[in-house]
Amino acid sequence: MTYLEIDDLVKQFGDLTAVDDVSFTVEEGEFVTVVGPSGCGKTTTLRMIAGLEDPTAGTIRIRGDDITSLPAYERDIGVVFQDYALFPHKTVFENIAFGLKMRGASEAEQEAAVEEMLRIINLEGYEDQYPHECSGGEQQRVAVARALAFDPDLVLMDEPLSNLDKKLRQSMRTELKRIQRETGVTTIYVTHNQTEALSMGDNIAVLNDGRLEQFGDPKAAYQDPDTPFVADFLGQSSQVSGTFRHNGSGPEVVSDGGTTIDVTPKDDVTDGDDVEVFLRNELLSLVDGESNGANVFEGEVRNVDYQGSDVNYFVSVPSLGTTVMVSATTGMQQTTFSEGTSVELAIDPADVIYTHP
């Protein structure tokens, strides 16, 4: 059953439209990630769902009931804020029990719920510690427990992992998904980290400048983006403008510089359409001999950026009129290319992403 329905949601702050006609739906038990650059309206959208900000226009429904003007405290929603601030003078127990206490739960109920939450977040025995006695990652988990302990129908998380280092962030990501599966709580999770959004979401919402650019399956958003913004924002790629057409052997894009790039057909693109082509770094390969497949372009390695597990090559490709970045995994068996090497750049037509501008 559709749990949450956001319909034509708008938020204006004076002349600024922070959220511009956003609509999407969330099914019960789903994990939806919201991603987009800083200032695109992620927090504002979440705050409207939580009832902390009044929408300028639009409706928010939960299980079909219009809750747009319901006060925050009457919504059954747990929130983890961007700075996850715990109450500093309350213990871990009091922090987690807060929502229950506010809702009039008995002490026995509070104890049972806190015990259960501490088990879920792997912090048994931390009841009496204060936030300053917990590590950053532990505090973050307590904030998650606080949002979940009163058994809300919906949890909103705003960049809950923003203050963690890469390793801790990764393990917390797995932990959060486990917690969500275990509790089955419907979750909306805001991040500006595209990897996080792609890996955690059942569905992903990509916001840009207040507008929803794409909503749906993360894999579809990555492999078949609706707009150039989504193609560019998710992943790393080099962009070439051109025109779509069919020739004898199949569909292709002729770049503005006159180079043809073989592609596979798309339902919504027809001959003569202007398109933007995106060549994903990791789908391009470098070959240093003769190759005879489709989509081979000559270039020269201009810069090599060694990153441990992978290496990025910046290759100037005159026929595409641009410098293209190619990512390759490193390894003893891997050919490496040095600056100044002439190379051929190849990409499978099926891997070429293109969209209407």
Q: Which long-range contacts link 199-204 to residues 24+ away (Cβ below 8 Å)?
A: 199/173, 200/31, 200/33, 200/173, 200/176, 201/31, 201/32, 201/33, 202/30, 202/31, 202/32, 203/24, 203/26, 203/30, 203/31, 203/32, 203/33, 204/32, 204/33, 204/34, 204/35
Please state the closest distance from residue 8 (CB atom) to ligand ATP, in A.
17
Over its C-alpha atoms, the chain yields an Rg (Å, rounded) of 24
Amino acid at 121: I
Q: Which does 33 bind (CB under 5 to 8 A by kind): Mg ion, ligand ATP, none?
A: none
Q: Exposure string (b/e) for 120-129, b if CB count within 10 Å is 16 or more?
A: bbebeebbee
Please state the closest distance from residue 42 (CB atom) to Mg ion, in A.
5
Query: How many amino acids of this chain bind Mg ion (CB under 5 A)?
Result: 1
Residue 14: phi, psi to the nearest 5? 60, -125
Give the H/E segment covering residue 220. Answer: helix 218-223
CA-nearest of 227, 241, 298, 304 to 273 is 241
Please state the closest distance from residue 351 (CB atom) to ligand ATP, in A.
30
Q: Which does 311 bind (CB under 5 to 8 A by kind): ligand ATP, Mg ion, none?
A: none
> Looking at 40-48, 70-78, 122-130, 168-176, which segment touches Mg ion (CB under 5 A)?
40-48
As given in the structure block, the two tokens for residue 64 are 């079909």
Sign of the torsion formed by the C-alpha atoms of 56, 61, 64 and 65: negative
Please state the closest distance from residue 18 (CB atom) to ligand ATP, in A.
3
Please state the closest distance from residue 149 (CB atom) to Mg ion, in A.
24
Q: Figure out which of the listed residues 43, 187, 214, 238 binds Mg ion, where binding follows CB under 5 A.
A: 43
Q: Pick the closer one to Mg ion by CB: 36 or 228.
A: 36
Q: Which does 192 bind (CB under 5 to 8 A by kind): Mg ion, ligand ATP, none?
A: ligand ATP
Q: Pick the closer one to ligand ATP by CB: 18 or 179.
A: 18
Q: Pick the closer one to ligand ATP by CB: 83 or 124.
A: 83
Q: Which does 18 bind (CB under 5 to 8 A by kind): ligand ATP, Mg ion, none?
A: ligand ATP
Q: Pick the closer one to ligand ATP by CB: 39 or 318.
A: 39
45 contributes a contact to Mg ion by CB under 5 A: no
Q: Exposure string (b/e) for 22-60, b if CB count within 10 Å is 16 or more?
A: bebebeeebbbbbbbeeebbbbbbbbbbbbbbebeebeb
> Looking at 3-11, 36-44, 164-172, 309-317, which segment touches Mg ion (CB under 5 A)?
36-44
Binding site for ligand ATP (CB under 6 A): 13, 16, 18, 36, 38-44, 192
Report the length, in residues, of the chain.
357
Q: In 3-state terms, what secondary structure has residue 157? A: strand
As given in the structure block, the two tokens for residue 121 are 């977040």
Cβ-based neighbour number of residue 18 at 10 Å: 21
Please state the closest distance from residue 201 (CB atom) to ligand ATP, in A.
16
Please state the closest distance from residue 40 (CB atom) to ligand ATP, in A.
4
| The pairing of beta strand 342-346 with beta strand 296-306 | antiparallel
Q: Pick the closer one to ligand ATP by CB: 33 or 43.
A: 43
Q: Pick the closer one to Mg ion by CB: 42 or 141.
A: 42
Please state the closest distance from residue 205 (CB atom) to ligand ATP, in A.
12
| Residue closest to Mg ion (Cβ) | 43
Q: Pick the closer one to Mg ion by CB: 158 or 252.
A: 158
CA-nearest of 282, 295, 280, 268 to 239 is 280
Asked if residue 330 lies in contact with residue 308, where contact means CB atoms within 8 angstroms, the answer is yes
Please state the closest distance from residue 43 (CB atom) to ligand ATP, in A.
3
Cβ-based neighbour number of residue 252 at 10 Å: 21
> Looking at 35-43, 84-92, 172-180, 284-292, which segment touches Mg ion (CB under 5 A)?
35-43
Q: Pick the closer one to ligand ATP by CB: 28 or 209.
A: 209
Q: Which does 41 bind (CB under 5 to 8 A by kind): Mg ion, ligand ATP, none?
A: ligand ATP
Using CB under 5 A as the criterion, which residues of the chain lie in contact with Mg ion when the complex forms?
43
